[in-house]
Amino acid sequence: MFYDRNLDQVFRFGDVVKDFILCSSIIEYPKPESYDFKIDIFRPSYAVILTPCCSIGGKTILLSPLDEIKPSFFDNPYIAEDLTNINRKMTPEQSTPPIIWARMSQEEKDQRFDMSQNKSYAFFDSFIYSEHDQLPKYKLKNKKKVEFETGFRLIDFKKIYKVNCSAINNSKQVPIESKILQSSIETRKELREKLAHYFYRKPKEDDV
Amino acid sequence: MNEIENCFEYESPSQDITGSREHNRKKIKVSFGKYEILVLLNSKNEFVRILEISVDKDFRSIEQKLDSVGYHDVADLYE
């Protein structure tokens, strides 16, 4: 079960919320004493809370917009069967569209895949949110330009925003009417582990 | 100690059969809630016996899980 049936009257890590406005600064290059910048402001239809449950409060919250998925995910039968498979570790073959896997050389496989484990994450910066009646379906086109509908969405760990909101004092004193879905305990566990893995990766030069 | 170990032993198809019968049986893994059941089927896909029941759960702590920080670099295959 991806979502809890009942919504607790608190904000939790992994909750889907609406009506928050997100903002980022845009600069061409960091220069001393330069204030040449732009500000990008947008209102995503939905966003996911990424502040850990115990840290929600202090009039701030971390959010990641809930985006549409890539239609090419459906090129891989293992992923198409259940898009939330992306949230869990998988074998190299499961992570690859079968046509590409069939023609891939062993040398390329050795370079691309983590062979040290039976299973590893693919799409290490993404987490899929399952379909739900509260999340309207939208249309995608596959490579053959055939249109199809899906309700799956994803968050990208590279897009995490901090919002200052004076209504968020602690996890209970929050604008609860903006909460529309609550992730199950199992989903929160998977999100927490994948997010931790994303930040825990270390470059090869740090190996001592 | 040997008695306890023997309780968990089962005969694999290759141990208790000979000749062509070895190729007529197969094992399948069936998920049942949080359990995974390894089932032996005969050539007609009929149930023979349960070989193994295991819990489909990773018991490692998050620290142990984070020891494996590799990943499959496949994002560009979906561009």
Give the per-residue pLDDT at A124: 92
Nearest to A112 among B68, B72, B79 (CB): B72
Are B69 and A201 an interchain contact pair (Cβ–Cβ within 8 Å)?
yes
For position A93, what pLDDT does the model report?
A: 94
pLDDT tens-digit series, residues B49-69: 999 898 877 777 766 666 667
**Interval A128-160: pLDDT, tens:** 999 999 999 999 998 888 999 999 999 999 999
Residue B24 has pLDDT above 50, yes or no: yes
Task: Write out chain B residues lying below 8 Å of A197, CB-based.
Answer: 65-66, 69, 71
pLDDT at A176: 97
DSSP state of B75: G
pLDDT score recorded for residue B18:
54
What does the pLDDT read at residue A90?
A: 94
Q: Which pLDDT belongs to residue B74?
A: 93
Contact A193 B71 (CB under 8 A): no
Residues of chain A where predicted confidence (pLDDT) is lower than 50: none
What DSSP assignment string belongs to chain A? --B-SS--SS--TT-EE-S--EEEEE-SS--TT----EEEEE--S-EEE-S-GGG-BTTEEEEEE-EEPPGGGGGSHHHHH-GGGGGS-B-TTTTS-HHHHHH--HHHHHHHS-TTSS-BEESTTEEEE---TTS--EEEE-TT--EEEE--EEEETT--EEEE-TT-SBSSSS-GGGEEE-B-HHHHHHHHHHHHHHHH---GGG--
**Contact between chains at B71 and A116 (C-beta distance less than 8 A):** no
Of B66, B75, B79, the CB nearest to A196: B66
A127 touches chain B (CB under 8 A): no
Residue of A nearest to B33 (CA): A1
In this structure, of A197-201, B7-11, B22-26, B39-43, the range with the lowest mean pLDDT score is B7-11
Average pLDDT over chain B reads 72
Entry pTM: 0.77
According to the model, what pLDDT value does residue A95 have?
A: 95
Q: Is residue B16 within a helix (H) or strand (E), and if so which, with residue range?
A: helix B13-16
Q: How many CB pairs under 8 A join A and B?
A: 57
pLDDT the model gives residue A208: 65
Where residue B11 falls among pLDDT bands split at 50, 70, 90? Answer: very low
Using CA coordinates, name the residue in chain B closest to A189. Answer: B62
Q: Cβ of B8 under 8 Å from any chain A Cβ? A: no
| Confidence (pLDDT) at B59 | 75
Of B70, B73, B77, the CB nearest to A117: B70
- Looking at residue B7, its pLDDT comes to 37
Confidence of residue B45 (pLDDT cuts 50, 70, 90): confident
Complex prediction ipTM = 0.81
Compare CB distances from A120 to B66, B70, B77 and report the shortest one's residue: B70
A201 shares contact with chain B (CB less than 8 Å): yes
- Are B26 and B49 contacting, i.e. CB atoms less than 8 angstroms apart? no
Chain A residues closer than 8 Å to B79 by CB: 72
